[in-house]
Structure 1
Amino acid sequence: MSNLSTSKWTKYKLLRKSEKLRAYLPETEWLKESAFWRLLNKYQQVIIKPTGSYGGHGVIRIKKLEDSGYELQDGAKKKRFTDQEQVNAFLKKKTGKNFIVQQRIPLATVNGRPFDMRVMVQRHPHSKWQVTGKLAKVAGSGFIVTNIRMSSGKVVSVEHAIKHSQLKSMRSADLLAQLDKVALKSAAKLGPSYRWVKTMGIDMAFDKAGHVWIIEVNYAPMLELFLKLKDKSMFRRIKSFHKK
């Protein structure tokens, strides 16, 4: 068993070491006041989240407003702040030591709701990584997180999400091929540091221009999400790898 941390920050730093993967990673920093304001001024919107959480818990979006104020969104709740001091005070109260801040990706949307994708990458002992399934998670109304339980969102096929998004004019086969390619490169980069891991659930996204992004990598992904798809063959395939 590896002693290496499985936190979001550690996995991000490992992925960043790959020149080929850097273009697919949102710029991310350990949460400090200086890093927060640098990224917010650079991208106009940032996400802050705890490094050890899952299920969308603790994820907050902050964006600069045109009137020089700031809007914060936590779940479906929104707050407005008029100055930096108010934002700093909120962050000190709301966040602990183990938080990261990253650029907010303008996710592609289905009916105005952002979606991302869970890509399952698995391997048998001593064999190469394979993509065994993928689905799209569409956020519930008013939410920025796509976690199904938290936002009352829905699961659809990736093909369905593409077809009903800003990406519908692009070739679906090309988008899916790029998704698989980046997912497999991610698993190949992380695999040697976590040799005990045989299953990865990689959360990925398309922005509104069709660029692929790596959001985070889970080593204990919830397989039952795949039961929400009409076609259960992906779930059976994933489970067959899991058992072995």
Structure 2
Amino acid sequence: MTKEISTSKWTKYRLLNRSSALSRHLPKTMWLRESSLYSFLDRYGEVIVKPTGKWGGSGVMRVRKVEGRQYELQQDTKVQTFSSKESLYAYLRSKITKNYIVQQRISLATVQHRPFDLRVMVQRKRGSSTWKLTGKLAKVAGHGYIITNVARSGGKIVTVEHALQKAGITDRRLQDILSDIDRVAMLSAKQLYPRYRWVRAMGVDIGVDKSGHVWIIEVNYKPTLSLFKRLKDRTMYRTILAYSK
């Protein structure tokens, strides 16, 4: 098994899905096939199609049903419409060269109509098997984008609390959601660690939907630490660097 396959989004999804505590936090996911695309569109109405081995939002597409039998595909800010599922899939096959998955799309909470997700850093010190949550932030998508990768979409970094409050999460619910985020991130690292013992830092990307439910979007083993430099308070960034030594 190559390293790309062993660390792919699909492999990590399957490992995380073995945990009964985490499975309810995972959007339904399958290999992209004609049958899986059709069944997911019929079931969810809107899906995400993305490569298993690329990062930074590259290759991610949103597909959704629109009026009649038409389907809409968005990649970055470009939107195309197809008259049938068959023509949609034919287009996808013409563009896809590597392994892709299809995933239930989560209706992420938004800040000023822009979706956001969270990057939660979970790390362990060299020689230790004890994981610690060292920082978290929110990535808000750029205008017109479906992906939250800041470099690709021109989005912005804000604190998690700021994003959740701007999304309309009340103070009464805020603490419960923050606790869920921390719990899910820590459980994710502990679930994956036995398979990936060389990993010392995991960037757990977590989404919160409009009802406040916490979702695992994906887990990165080479997370970009510099995102945390964009926060006004550099305390988390310094902690993350200390754990990286």
Q: Into which bin does the TM-score normalised by the smaller protein fall?
A: over 0.9
How does 1:217-228 map onto structure 2 within 5 Å?
217-228=219-230
Cα RMSD over matched residues?
A: 1.3
Match of 2:151 among 146, 149, 152: 149
> What is the total number of aligned residue pairs between the two structures?
242
The answer on whether the counterparts of 1:26 and 1:103 sit within 8 Å (CA) in structure 2 is yes
SS at match of 2:193: helix
- Give 1:94's aligned amino acid: K
Determine if contact 1:119/1:201 at 8 Å carries over to the other structure. Answer: yes
Q: Which moved more, 1:57-66 or 1:160-169?
A: 160-169
Aligned-pair CA distance for 1:108: 0.3
**2:53 alignment counterpart:** 52
Query: What is the Cα deviation at residue 227 of structure 1?
Result: 0.4
The 5 A counterparts of 1:205-244 are 205-243=207-245
Secondary structure class of the residue paired with 2:207: strand
| Amino acid in the other structure paired with 2:227 | L
Distance (Å, rounded) in 2 between the aligned partners of 1:128 and 1:158:
24
For residue 129 of structure 1, report the CA deviation from its aligned partner. 1.0
Deviates more, 1:105-114 or 1:161-170: 161-170
CA distance in 2, matches of 1:162, 1:45: 24
Contact 1:139–1:147, Cα closer than 8 Å, also in 2: yes
1:1-36 per-position Cα deviation (integer Å, ceiling 9, x unaligned):
x96711111111110111111000000001111011
TM-score for both structures, normalised by structure 2 = 0.96
Gaps of 5+ in 2: none
State the SS of the aligned residue for 2:128. coil
1:72, 1:168 → 2: CA distance?
Answer: 34
Aligned-pair distance for 1:123?
Answer: 1.2
**Residue deviations 1:78-120, cap 9 Å, x none?**
0111112210211111112410000000000000000000000
Match of residue 38 from structure 1? 39
Give 1:1-244 correspondences, 5 Å limit: 5-124=6-125, 125-168=127-170, 170-243=172-245
- Distance in 1 separating the partners of 2:195 and 2:11: 11
Deviation at 1:169, TM superposition (A): 5.7
Q: Aligned partner of 1:12: which letter?
A: Y
Matches of 2:149 and 2:170, distance apart in 1: 23
> Which deviations, in whole Å up to 9, do the C-alpha atoms of 1:151-190 show, x marking residues without a partner?
1000000000011003246522211111000001100100
Q: Structure 2 CA distance, aligned partners of 1:204 and 1:167?
A: 16
Moved over 4 A (4+): none
Quote the Cα distance in structure 2 between the aligned partners of 1:60 and 1:90. 12
- Which is further off, 223-232 or 93-102? 93-102
Cα drift, residue 145 of structure 1: 0.2
* Distance of 2:144 and 2:171 partners within structure 1: 26
Other structure's SS at 1:25 match? coil
**Which secondary structure state, in structure 2, belongs to the residue aligned with residue 241 of structure 1?**
helix
CA distance, structure 2, for counterparts of residue 170 and residue 161 of structure 1: 15
CA distance in 2, matches of 1:40, 1:67: 13
Q: What do the CA deviations read for 1:127-168 (whole angstroms, capped 9, x no partner)?
A: 421110000000000000000011100000000001100324
Name the CA distance, whole Å, in 2 between partners of 1:31 and 1:174.
Answer: 35
**Aligned-partner Cα distance in 2 for 1:20–1:235:** 29
